Amino acid sequence: QVQLVESGGGLVQAGGSLGLSCAASGRTLSTYALGWFRQAPGKEREFVAAISASGGRIHYADFVKGRFAISRDNAKGTMYLQMISLKPEDTAVYSCAARSASSSGNIVYTTPPMYNYWGQGTQVTVSS
């Protein structure tokens, strides 16, 4: 079983940048496909970005393409989400998720039920 802890959230002005990290412990990160999701007040959790276990395939939600970048460093047991050109509508609790997978796997998962493990989330607030 893997434990996930997000960090890096905070308050930023519109147009600014922020970087999130998701640190994993308990198991080797290379055997997990990973993803970022977010949930704004009063809204359902939505997909943001995903990266396959191998790191060879990445997928983004349309609303973040060109602004967010997902990456992973298996040696450090950490996944990242770099965010630029932030907008007030990006305000949400951002959570990372993991799903057991082959380390050579090239599949990305884009819906919450596909993931087995979740972090507690980190708040991102973008002021206008």
pLDDT given for residue 52 in this prediction: 97
* Rounded Cα–Cα distance for residues 58 and 120 (Å): 23
* Rounded Cα–Cα distance for residues 123 and 6 (Å): 10
pLDDT given for residue 68 in this prediction: 98
First to last CA, the chain: 40
Is residue 13 within 8 A of residue 24, CB to CB? The reply is: no
Q: pLDDT of the chain along its 128 residues, tens only? A: 899 999 999 999 999 999 999 999 877 888 999 999 999 999 999 999 999 999 999 999 999 989 999 999 999 999 999 999 999 999 999 999 999 988 888 999 999 999 999 999 999 999 99
As beta bridge partners, residue 100 has 32
Q: Which two tokens stand for residue 42?
A: 């009063």
pLDDT given for residue 118 in this prediction: 98
